[in-house]
């Protein structure tokens, strides 16, 4: 912020000096060229030019401070327009009056005689100064307005990025708390039957917890890493479902290092168990398929069961997946859920980056 302010200040003074300097040089040169030296001494025009550039830079700098004080760029309303119009009139009259008075006394000092300005010369001077100040205001307001638009655009993009990151961090890496409680209760019961297996299940549960917490730091992980978490989830689910849950994989091995959003496969498996297999009296089978087609990774989970109208509470995981895919890939990724021959198929297609 401080660097930006410093650059803006440097740019303002550069434009001030260059702009008023150009007008001064043009004015002095034209008068020296058009007015004979025997009539008006050249050094008079230099003095007049010095007064002109000093007033131009000084008064418009004060005008700039006033525009900043009333915050005209951000608050362009009827009241502020009236204030700027009055400031424009005051600066124009001050500029014209001081310039005419300074030119009069400079001419008197250099030539030892007064220079009686005609009414036309005075009027044209006032009009010229008013035009200069008017265009100075237009130029300044135009630049500051463009700068404000650019800043607003940058701020909006930053806000959108921060919001997107916040949404992703909220959505990804979340384990269902009911699954956690059920797993802990199942492991507690398992300890009475098989301590070694219970210890192994605790290790798998802790790995899933650590994985879930660490996922806030990344947007994509290798499929192989996600498959490890899926295996842990299946193992923990089997404590309760036992032989009622049959799990199979059909993984194209050369795709295991392709990166995908974390937790999406785990959420598909969770949905298939919770709303498919666990609702079947005799259980069922879940098949995880990972393949590719036309530069897209296809992640598919099939489960025994039918596609029913879900309540709001049961669609949290699926909506989570849809929202994350939308935030990460826009319209380039798809998520479909359909029923085919007594099986529910959940399919995600992700472009290969």
Q: What is the pLDDT of residues 77-121, one digit of tens each?
A: 888 899 999 999 999 999 999 999 988 888 888 888 877 777 888
Beta carbons of 23 and 15 less than 8 angstroms apart = no
The pLDDT, as a whole number, for residue 339 is 87
Q: Which domains does the chain have, with CATH numbers?
A: 2-170 (no CATH), 218-351 (3.30.565.10)
Nearest C-alpha neighbor of 183 from the set 149, 220, 164, 208 = 208
List, edge to edge, every strand of the sheet that includes 245-251: 245-251, 284-292, 296-304, 343-351, 334-340
Which band of pLDDT confidence, cut at 50, 70 and 90, is reported for residue 315? low
Provide mean pLDDT across the span 239-245: 86
Beta carbons of 263 and 174 less than 8 angstroms apart = yes
Q: Is the pLDDT of residue 130 over 90?
A: yes
Q: Is the pLDDT of residue 273 over 90?
A: no
pTM exceeds 0.85, yes or no:
no
Provide mean pLDDT across the span 55-59: 93
Q: Let me know if 301 is exposed, middle or buried by CB neighbors in 10 A (0-12, 13-18, 19+).
A: buried
Q: Give the integer Cα–Cα distance in Å for 249 and 231.
A: 10
Q: Which residues pair with 290 in a beta bridge?
A: 251, 299
The pLDDT, as a whole number, for residue 353 is 67
Q: Is the pLDDT of residue 26 over 70?
A: yes
Beta carbons of 201 and 187 less than 8 angstroms apart = yes
Q: Which one of 153-157, 173-177, 180-184, 202-206 scores highest in mean pLDDT?
A: 202-206
Nearest C-alpha neighbor of 314 from the set 345, 273, 342, 350 = 273
Question: 293: number of CA atoms within 13 Å, CB side?
Answer: 10
Mean pLDDT is lowest, of 155-164, 209-218, 314-323, for 155-164
The pLDDT, as a whole number, for residue 90 is 94
Which band of pLDDT confidence, cut at 50, 70 and 90, is reported for residue 317? low
Share of the chain above pLDDT 70, in %: 89
Q: What is the DSSP string of 216-254?
A: GG-S-EEHHHHHHHHHHHHHHHHHHHGGGEEEEEEE-GG
Which band of pLDDT confidence, cut at 50, 70 and 90, is reported for residue 341? confident
């Amino acid at each position: 912020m401080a660097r930006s302010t410093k650059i803006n200040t440097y740019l303002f003074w550069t434009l001030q000096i260059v702009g008023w300097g150009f007008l001064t040089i043009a004015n002095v040169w034209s008068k020296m060229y058009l007015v004979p030296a025997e009539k008006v001494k050249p050094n008079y025009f230099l003095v007049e030019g010095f007064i002109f550039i000093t007033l131009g830079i000084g008064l418009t700098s004060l005008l700039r401070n006033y525009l900043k004080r009333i915050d005209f760029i951000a608050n362009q309303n009827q009241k502020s327009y009236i204030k700027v119009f009055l400031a424009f009139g005051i600066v124009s009259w001050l500029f014209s009056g001081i310039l005419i008075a300074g030119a009069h006394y400079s001419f008197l000092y250099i030539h030892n005689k007064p220079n009686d300005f005609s009414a036309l010369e005075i009027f044209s001077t006032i009009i010229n100064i008013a035009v200069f100040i008017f265009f100075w205001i237009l130029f300044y307001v135009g630049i500051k307005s463009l700068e404000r638009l650019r800043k607003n655009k940058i701020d909006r993009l930053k806000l959108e990025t921060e919001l997107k990151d916040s949404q992703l961090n909220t959505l990804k890496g979340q384990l269902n708390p009911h699954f956690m409680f059920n797993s802990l209760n199942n492991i507690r019961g398992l300890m009475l039957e098989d301590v070694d297996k219970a210890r192994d299940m605790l290790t798998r549960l802790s790995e899933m917890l650590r994985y879930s917490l660490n996922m806030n730091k990344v947007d994509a992980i290798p499929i192989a890493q996600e498959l490890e978490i899926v295996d842990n989830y299946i193992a923990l689910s089997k404590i309760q479902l036992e032989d009622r849950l049959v799990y199979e994989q059909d993984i194209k091995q050369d795709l295991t290092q392709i990166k995908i959003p974390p937790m999406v496969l785990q959420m598909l498996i969770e949905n298939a168990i919770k709303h498919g297999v666990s609702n079947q009296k005799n259980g069922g089978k879940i098949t995880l398929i990972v393949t590719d087609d036309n530069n897209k990774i296809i992640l598919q989970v099939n489960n025994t069961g039918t596609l029913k109208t879900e309540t709001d509470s049961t669609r949290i995981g699926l909506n989570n997946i849809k929202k994350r895919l939308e935030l990460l890939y826009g319209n380039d990724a798809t998520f479909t859920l359909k029923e085919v021959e007594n099986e529910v198929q959940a399919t995600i297609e992700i472009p290969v980056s």
